[in-house]
Amino acid sequence: MHHFRYEQDELYCEKVPLRKLADQVGTPSYVYSHATLKHHFTVFDNAFSGVPHLTCFAMKASSNLAILNLFGSLGGGVDIVSGGELYRARRAGIPADRIVYSGVGKTVQEIDYALKENILMFNIESDLELEAINTRAGELGIRARIALRVNPDVDPKTHPYISTGLKKNKFGIDIEGALRSYQRARELEHVEIMGVDCHIGSQLTDISPFVDALRRLRVLIERLQDMGIAVHYLDLGGGLGIVYDQESPPHPHEYADAILKELEGLSCTLIFEPGRVIVGNAGLLLTRVLYTKKSASKDFVIVDAGMNDLVRPSLYGSYHQILPVVKSDRDMQVVDVVGPICESGDFLARERGLPMVLPGDSLAVMSAGAYGFTMSSNYNSRPRASEVLVRDDQYFVIRKRETHEDLVRGEWIPDLT
């Protein structure tokens, strides 16, 4: 459910016509619906209302302060993967005791920062990281709360770049080796074992890999309990897929029912790290047609958003629906929608049926709320897009469009004479 819809041939975000945003804020811009963000967070969170749990939004999907602040105000926490994300989370008012820290490559500086902030827990991904965190905590005279991220070796059946729970992936600790690592963690003076963590991949449209992973985790948890290691938290990561095109992912309630059934009799607090399912369909990328052009074999629509703004089609071959901001009764045509970047891989859609468009028309690239702005770059020295939050009939620019000056901030020309 989202709040982008046509009214009399004009596409609206809640009660704001996108045409007005294109005129007043300019393009390219990311546009988010407040009601949709809130709805998606609440539906997910409420699906687990019967059990102790914490929903830690995976902020790599979308890290604007205003969006994080909204989830924080709804009782959410965040899953972070860098010092930069920790900084954003704290600036957005997320309490430290609702922050979990994942990622295979935490630096000493990042570990120290998170220890000083006293976050809820580190999700540790290797034995050497465990030693490093123990050392840093000792140095600072504190105990680090930790979980080990275990890799259950299940196939999430998603794009290979976003599968993480297979043996061959770089993430987590083999489930077979995990007991040894827990044993070691128990001996370490400056870490406190809080629980078990797992994340198997992203954009999962089937529930069975989650269930398979959970069954394997359950065996591990029971072994740990036999060893006298209490599991206070079970972090199940994120990964629930969304509809981009024809997918039919499970509803959060189906996901919750399946999980809760597997966990019957286990008393611990559940942590979830959903990203895409919360924000993916709550945001779109608004762009404007610059030119149209026909080549011998193809028709192109050249727009002012490129792979630097939304890299998913180029990187993963992802499908994003593209809608005209103002509907027309012009003929349909099959086109490649491409950006201004000097790369053949710079496209938003290929061989796509669209009503004929003209220069100046605006288009909405749908389902761009997750891994859209956060993966954008300055390639070709293009200032990054603005971000706009719409609530009812009001809109707020929650990130200004970058300027040319922003592009060269921090650079200088040394005197080499």
- Chain residues in the site for ligand LLP (CB under 6 A): 58, 61, 79, 102, 162, 164, 199, 202-203, 237-240, 273-277, 312, 316, 370-371, 375
User: Shortest gap between Cβ of 214 and ligand LLP (angstroms)?
Assistant: 15
Quick one: which of 376, 370, 373, 359 has its CA closest to 307?
Answer: 376
User: Shortest gap between Cβ of 147 and ligand LLP (angstroms)?
Assistant: 11
User: Shortest gap between Cβ of 356 and ligand LLP (angstroms)?
Assistant: 30
User: Amino acid identity, residue 198?
Assistant: C
Which H or E run includes 46? helix 34-47
User: Shortest gap between Cβ of 149 and ligand LLP (angstroms)?
Assistant: 7
State the pairing for strand pair 362-365/394-399.
Answer: unpaired
Query: At 213, is the secondary structure helix, strand, or coil?
Result: helix
The residue (of 103 and 324) whose beta carbon lies closer to ligand LLP is: 103
Measure the CA–CA gap between 401 and 409, rounded to whole angstroms.
15
The residue (of 275 and 324) whose beta carbon lies closer to ligand LLP is: 275
DSSP 250-264: PPHHHHHHHHHHHTT
Residue 290, Ramachandran bin (φ over 0: left; ψ between -120 and 50: alpha; else beta): alpha
DSSP 303-318: ES--TTT--HHHHH--
Residues 6+ apart with CB under 8 A from 131: 188
Catalytic site includes residue 342: yes
The residue (of 137 and 200) whose beta carbon lies closer to ligand LLP is: 200
The residue (of 28 and 172) whose beta carbon lies closer to ligand LLP is: 172
The residue (of 170 and 327) whose beta carbon lies closer to ligand LLP is: 170
The residue (of 345 and 359) whose beta carbon lies closer to ligand LLP is: 345
User: Shortest gap between Cβ of 288 and ligand LLP (angstroms)?
Assistant: 24
Q: Which one from 56, 198, 268, 342 is the annotated catalytic residue? A: 342
DSSP 116-163: HHT-SEEEE-SHHHHHHHHHHHHHHT--EEEEEEEE------S-GGGB
User: Shortest gap between Cβ of 296 and ligand LLP (angstroms)?
Assistant: 33
Report how far apart, in Å, the C-alpha atoms of 379 and of each of 116, 288, 290, 305, 308 are: 35, 19, 19, 12, 6
Burial 175-209 (b: 16+ CB within 10 A, else e): beebbebbeebeebebbbbbbbbbbbbbbbbebeb
Write out the catalytic residue numbers. Answer: 342
